[in-house]
Amino acid sequence: MLLSPPMKMTRRVLCLVLLLASSVSVACLPDAAAIDARVRAAMAETRANGMAIAVIDDGRVAYVQAYGARNAKGDPLQTDTVMYGASITKTVMAYTALTLVDQGKLDLDAPLAGYLERPLIAYGEGDAHLAKYGPYRDLAGDERWRTLTARMALTHSTGFHNFWFIEPDRTLRIHFDPGSRYSYSGEGFSLLQFTIEQGARTKGLGLDVKALTDAIFARLGMTRTSLQWRPDFRPNLADGWNDKGEPLEHDERSNVRVAGSMDTSISDLAKFIAALVRGDGLSPAARAEMVKPSLHIGTAHQFPNFAPYLPKPEQRADLAAGLGVIVFEGPQGRGFYKGGHDAQTANSFVCLERGRRCVLLLANDVRAEARFADLVRFILGDTGVPYDWEYADRAGKS
């Protein structure tokens, strides 16, 4: 854990012993003052107005801090300020789905269509449906919908665009054979949510995803986290800033959408990431499924969608999709991570299996993202996290 000043020498000695005893490099965690100084420097360099950080060591939250402002009035960003979780919601969804796998209610590799009372293409009309799910009737004529599985949804390999409504003609379609490659898709997560919520009760589904996630949050003591907007968040809520430094109000997301509707705080989300890295709440088999390389990724960058795979010699051999996370191998061994981003939000966590260490970064100013790689390296050392694949030249841009 992060140690107080009188124990620094002991920490250095311990790290030296680990370095000498292991063929894998082991980073020594900096102390709180050093982290504070580095974060403040990163904010000054990027002109970011607010961000928060948590450090997990040996599966336990070791340090949490918030910096700067939560809104244009200058109210302070605090460790219990509610911030937008963005696409880290997808990791929460993967964890939630795996609890259903542990209960025998969901099979990662069984066709999702088999859990429904009607064919998937019989669903998809009406504003209430389209506010949460996709127009599945659009898939009529393409029999590949019958092959879609939970694993494909969680590894971004359904063949869907990121969302149906960004298709030029706003028509849901499958762009490649499901399971054959990676292309980022929140739409796949929406399909899994639909299956869990609208699936047959006789098959163990027909479950409310909000209730499932609320139970997880309650168990972990996450009192200021929800996949649906709560009015009690308003008194201590983070708005944000885009890459031009313009303030933007927090979006009160009234619908549960597992691709990215979560509100949370740095203190709360640190508890979840700590539970994830130590495997709390999942069977060893389910936890192993989440962080194993399920699907190799061969693109140069995560976006644009459907980018061609690089020639084999140019691909990063260790880059793969886990379930709701990206998996990689680095100088310190196996790691996994997930990011979240919109015009005003930049979020990221990076975890290393060795030492069960993580860094969690939440920023309500997207410009802070440009220094995420530096901050992770400063705290954890060289991890090999594929931030170049994640961001390309877009880090810190709306």
Q: Is 175 helix (H, G, I), strand (E, B) or coil?
A: coil
The values of phi and psi at residue 297, to 5°, are -115, 125
Which of 74, 101, 61, 58 has the alpha carbon at shortest distance from 323?
101
Per the structure, the count of domains in the chain is 1
Does residue 228 form part of some domain?
yes
Does residue 202 form part of some domain?
no
Does residue 235 form part of some domain?
yes
> Nearest-5° angle of CA 252, CA 192, CA 270?
55
Q: Is 69 helix (H, G, I), strand (E, B) or coil?
A: strand
Secondary structure letter of residue 311 according to DSSP: P
Does residue 201 form part of some domain?
no
Does residue 185 form part of some domain?
no
Q: How far apart are CA 85 and CA 266, in angstroms?
A: 9
Find the domain containing 295 and state its range: 5-105+207-391
- Give, to the nearest 10 degrees, the angle between helix 88-102 and helix 284-291: 140
Which of 205, 187, 183 has the alpha carbon at shortest distance from 196?
205
Q: How far apart are CA 50 and CA 130, in angstroms?
A: 34
Does residue 191 form part of some domain?
no
Q: What is the CATH number of the domain that holds 17?
A: 3.40.710.10
Does residue 311 form part of some domain?
yes
Does residue 115 form part of some domain?
no
Q: How far is CA 42 from CA 36, 133, 304, 341, 378, in A?
A: 10, 38, 28, 18, 11
Q: How far apart are CA 343 and CA 85, in angstroms?
A: 13
Which of 153, 178, 159, 174 has the alpha carbon at shortest distance from 101?
153
> Nearest-5° angle of CA 236, CA 211, CA 222?
40
68 neighbors 81 (Cβ within 8 angstroms):
no
H or E element: which one contains 382?
A: none
Q: Tens place of pLDDT for every residue, the chain, 398 residues?
A: 454 433 343 343 445 444 444 444 556 899 999 999 999 999 999 999 999 999 999 999 999 999 999 999 999 999 999 999 999 999 999 999 999 999 999 999 999 999 999 999 999 999 999 999 999 999 999 999 999 999 999 999 999 999 999 999 999 999 999 999 999 999 999 999 999 999 999 999 999 999 999 999 999 999 999 999 999 999 999 999 999 999 999 999 999 999 999 999 999 999 999 999 999 999 999 999 999 999 999 999 999 999 999 999 999 999 999 999 999 999 999 999 999 999 999 999 999 999 999 999 999 999 999 999 999 999 999 999 999 999 999 999 99
Please enumerate in sequence order all residues whose Cβ is within 8 A of that of 10, keeping only pairs 6 or more positions apart, or say none.
3
